[in-house]
Amino acid sequence: MRRFVIVVGLGGGLLLAAGEADAQYQYTDAKGVTKVTQYKLDVPASYRDAAVWIGPTGIGKPGLSEEQRRSKQREDEYRRIGESNARLAPSKNAEAEARKAKGRGR
């Protein structure tokens, strides 16, 4: 039982330490000192617009990296192009069939 309590205590401590590791907003103050905070609201208002997210990115995080943003944009564009082509396919087939029928009618 004692080992269980120790393991649970250590596990809880590790989880708390992992939560603190998310302190990932970085800014530079007027003296040129770079500081890191956990929340953007912890950054003084005068430096808040210049604060940069330096932590992990992706699902559930404040933002995507520039490379991930461009990749997502390309993927969305290709998807829209594919959907547009799929909508045009029936009308292209109808036009081709109409031309064929018109050619046979001569």
Concatenated DSSP letters for 41-101?
A: GGS-GGGGGG-EE-S--STTSS---HHHHHHHHHHHHHHHHHHHHHHHHHHHHHHHHHHHH
- Looking at residue 7, its pLDDT comes to 61
In terms of domains, do 58 and 84 share one?
no
Rounded Cα gap, residues 85 and 4, in angstroms: 61
Range of the domain at 74: 64-106
Q: What is the pLDDT of residues 29-66, one digit of tens each?
A: 999 999 999 888 999 999 998 898 887 766 665 566 77
Distances (CA, A) of 57 to 2, 8, 68, 94, 100: 39, 29, 9, 47, 55
Q: Is the pLDDT of residue 73 over 50?
A: yes
Q: Are residues 53 and 26 part of one domain?
A: yes
- Whether 7 is in a domain gets the answer no
In a domain, 10, yes or no: no
Domain count, the chain: 2
Q: Which amino acid is located at 1 in the chain?
A: M
